[in-house]
Amino acid sequence: MSSNAPRIAIVGVAGRMGRNLVAAVEQDAQAQLAAGIVTPGSSLKGADIGELAGLGRLGIPAADSLASVADEFDVLIDFTMPRATLDNLAFCAEHGKRVVIGTTGLSDDELAELDGYRDRVPFVFAPNMSVGVNLTLRLLETAARALGDEGYDIEVIEAHHRHKVDAPSGTALRMGEVVAGVLGRSLKEHGVFERVGQCGPRSASEIGFATLRAGDIVGEHTVLFATEGERIEITHKASSRMTFAKGAVRAARWVSERPAGRYDMQDVLGLTEQGG
Ligand SMILES: NC(=O)C1=CN([C@@H]2O[C@H](COP(=O)(O)OP(=O)(O)OC[C@H]3O[C@@H](n4cnc5c(N)ncnc54)[C@H](OP(=O)(O)O)[C@@H]3O)[C@@H](O)[C@H]2O)C=CC1
Ligand SMILES: O=C(O)C1=N[C@H](C(=O)O)C[C@H](O)C1
């Protein structure tokens, strides 16, 4: 392991992403697994986080508060729930830590609260940490620029596992925002999140969202550009959560050397400098 490998703590370590994050940090020679945190009061407190992840014993017992491991880590990776994430960000701002946030489903108020930390703590916040989705966001900009004003209807379709609690997915919303941004539209005005009953024909400028929840689907997103005579579908399909986990560890290494600021996965991957 490299001597300057950041020490990483994972909150929500017993969750679907938490277990994959343990594996991803363990696989990365330039990152050091330092701590894992479960929900306060959880019966999993004290369980070995390697065993929780199915990797065998690592000798790191799960803590149930950030305060109890405050001296043990440099970067926190957080894929939990909005309120927990914001509380953890406040803790990290106070204690000079860096943070990678994958949590989705934040309300407008919660997003504003999160943004309030941009001058106080270095953090990466992205609804999807996979390289493929972040490249797809760039492809969507190109497609929207070419097609958006040419009579193509735009719809975003996403599918996830039965346990997912927020909808549409953070990735679907980001895809919609990217397309809307290129076209000078906003999701507040043009996003259509429900069609039921006599809802009338679609308007030319709306951006529709459709959500599927079923079985063990890891995460699938399609943006559809359709007009009379043809349609284009830009699709990303994740088949393993390790793609998100590896991206998050890459983001943790990257943010460990950055000044205070709110960063996106596009910054981590160097996709922002390529211009529009
Ligand atoms: N950005 C990205 O690339 C990706 C983002 N996500 C997002 O990550 C989030 C988590 O997804 P997923 O792993 O599937 O969900 P899970 O429900 O499997 O995991 C969430 C974990 O967070 C724990 N948790 C909740 N509150 C706290 C707290 N206060 N302190 C410590 N732990 C807490 C939960 O514990 P308990 O069960 O005890 O409540 C649970 O173990 C979602 O918002 C999802 O959309 C998911 C995949 C990729
Ligand atoms: O909850 C999930 O599982 C996922 N959530 C993220 C989202 O909401 O976009 C990313 C990924 O698609 C998996």
- pLDDT (tens digit, 9 = 90+) per residue, 187-246? 999 999 999 999 999 999 999 999 999 999 999 999 999 999 999 999 999 999 999 999
Q: Collect contacts of 199-203 with beta carbons under 8 A, ≥24 apart.
A: 202/153
Beta strands 7-11 and 32-37 are parallel
In whole angstroms, what is the distance from residue 44 CA to residue 52 CA? 9
Residue nearest to atom 31 of ligand 1 (CA): 39
Ligand 1, closest atom to CA 82?
43
pLDDT score, position 149: 80
- Ligand 1 pocket test, candidate residues 10, 11, 17, most atoms within 8 A of CB: 17
Local confidence band at 276 (pLDDT 50, 70, 90 cut-offs): very low
Q: Mark whether 160 is an active-site residue.
A: yes
Question: What pLDDT score was predicted for residue 148?
Answer: 82
Residues 6+ apart with CB under 8 A from 227: 147, 150, 151, 152, 153
How confident is the prediction for the chain on average, in pLDDT?
96
What are the residues facing 30 on neighbouring strands? none
d(CA 236, CA 230): 20
CA distances for 238 relative to 49, 69, 156, 212, 243, angstroms? 25, 33, 16, 15, 7
What integer is the mean pLDDT of 29-50? 98
What pLDDT, in 10s, does the model give residues 106-137?
999 999 999 999 999 999 999 999 999 999 99
Catalytic entry in 45, 95, 97, 164? 164
Residue with the bigger pLDDT between 219 and 4: it is 219
What is the average pLDDT across 162-189? 98
Atom of ligand 2 minimally distant from the CA of 127: 9
Q: Are 22 and 13 in contact (CB under 8 A)?
A: yes
The arrangement of strands across the sheet holding 219-227 comes to 191-192, 207-213, 153-160, 219-227, 230-238
Q: Which residue in the list 97, 160, 221, 236 is annotated as catalytic?
A: 160
Query: Considering only CA atoms, which residue is closest to atom 5 of ligand 1?
Result: 102
Closest to 252 (Cα-Cα) out of 123, 156, 137: 123
Domains in the chain, start-ordered, CATH in brackets?
7-125+241-274 (3.40.50.720), 131-238 (3.30.360.10)
Q: How confident is the model at residue 272 (pLDDT cuts 50, 70, 90)?
A: confident
- 158 Cβ neighbours under 8 A, 6+ residues apart: 168, 169, 171, 172, 209, 210, 211, 212, 219, 220, 221, 222
Give the pLDDT confidence of 71-106 residue by residue, as tens digits.
999 999 999 999 999 999 999 999 999 999 999 999
CB burial of 76-109 (b: ≥16 within 10 Å; e: otherwise) equals: bbbbbbbebbbebbbbbbeeebbbbbbbbbbeee
- Cβ atoms of 205 and 185 closer than 8 Å: yes
- The secondary element (H helix, E strand) that includes residue 217 is none
ipTM at complex level:
0.99
Tell me, rounded to whole angstroms, the distance of Cα 246 from its chain centroid: 12
Helix axes 16-27, 242-255, angle to 10 degrees: 60
Residue 273 binned pLDDT confidence (cut-offs 50, 70, 90): low
In angstroms, the CA 172 to CA 149 distance is 21
Q: How confident is the model at residue 274 (pLDDT cuts 50, 70, 90)?
A: low
Per-residue confidence at 275, pLDDT binned at 50, 70, 90? Answer: very low
pLDDT at 19: 98
Would you say residue 24 has pLDDT above 90?
A: yes
Query: What is the average pLDDT across 244-261?
Result: 98
Q: How far apart are the C-alpha atoms of 224 and 208, rounded to whole Å?
A: 10
Q: Name residues whose C-beta falls within 8 Å of residue 245's C-beta, 6 or more positions apart in sequence.
A: 17, 20, 21, 23, 24, 129
